[in-house]
Amino acid sequence: MKTLFCLAAPWLAALAVLSVDRPAGARSPRSAAVIVTPKRNELVSREAELFAKLLLPGQPVVLVREDQPGSLWYVQDTGQPTDGKVFRNRITFGSDSTPQGRRFFVMVVLMRNAQELEIFQPRTAIDNIPWDMPRSAQIPVVLDRREKPPPQTKLIVRPTPGSKVSQMEDLVAVVDDGTSVVAMVRSNEVDSYWWVQDIVENAHGGKITATVRFGNQSTQPGTRFSVVLLLPTSARDLQQFQVGDYMRHLPDHVRKSKEVQVILQ
C-alpha cells in the first residue's frame, strides 16, 4: 500500500497513512467540482483567481502542481464561497524564479473528514492523493510572465463613455490593419464576469464593427456595463477566446483598450 506524504514548513508538517492505491474493480473517484476559470491551456499570471462550481457537499481545497517530473501538489490558501455551489480561490503558480511558459495543473479536491482537513493545510506539499477522494478534472495552464501592456487609447469610437445603449448595439472601433479584436462586456454588478461578445479577425480599412449585447430581457434599465476590446497579437492568444465564453478577469498579457462605461436604457 502506498502512503500519502505531506511536506511543509515545520508548523504545518504532517504525515498520514492513507491509501492512494485504487483497489481492483473500484469505481473512479466521484466528480467533486467543475473549474470555471482558469480555462484549459489558458495563459495565466503568477497570481490568479480560480472559480469553481461544486457538485458535492464538502470543504473544497485547491491544489497546484508544476508539470515536471517529481513535482508535488501544493495546497493553496483557503477559498471563499460566493454562494452555495460556487467558490473562489486565489492561486499561485511557481516562484519568482519559475520561467516563462512553464506548464502547471490545477485541481479541486473535497475534504470528507477532519483528518483530511488536518493534512491538506495551506502551503502543504502533497505527494499522492487518496485514490477515492472526490475531485475535479486536472486543468492544464501555462505561466505567462510577460510584462503587462498599458491600455490602448482612442480605440472605441462608439458607444461613447456614459452613453445610453440598447440591449444590442454595434461597437465601432479604429484599429490598425491586420489587427484581431475580441469585444468584451461586463455588468458593473458585484462578482460579474466578462463575456466574449464578438471576434473580428484581421481587420482591414482601419475600422471594425462588432456586435455586443448588454444583459438580457430581465436586465433592469439603468444597469451599468463596461466595454473593452482585447487585441491578441498571436494566433495562440486569439484561440483562448470563443463567443459566449466568460471569465472573471481579463488576461494581463493581452493588449486592451481603455474601458468604456455605458448605461442600459
What's the rounded Cα separation, in Å, for the pair 258 and 265? 22
Mean pLDDT of the chain: 84
* pLDDT of 190 above 50: yes
CA distances from 75 to 6, 8, 95, 96 (A): 10, 10, 14, 18
Number of domains the chain is built from: 2
Same-domain pairing of 74 and 124: yes
Of 143, 166, 200, which residue sits at a domain end? 143
What's the rounded Cα separation, in Å, for the pair 128 and 72? 8
Tell me what pLDDT residue 13 has.
40
CATH code for the domain in which residue 35 is found: 2.60.40.10
What range does the domain containing 82 cover? 5-143
Average pLDDT over residues 177-188: 92
Per-residue confidence at 58, pLDDT binned at 50, 70, 90? confident
Same-domain pairing of 9 and 129: yes
Tell me what pLDDT residue 27 has.
60
* Backbone angles phi and psi of 83, in degrees to 5: -160, -165
Tell me what pLDDT residue 151 has.
64
CATH code for the domain in which residue 256 is found: 2.60.40
Same-domain pairing of 21 and 64: yes
Bigger pLDDT: 229 vs 19:
229
Same-domain pairing of 137 and 163: no
Bigger pLDDT: 202 vs 150:
202
Bigger pLDDT: 83 vs 63:
63
Average pLDDT over residues 56-67: 93
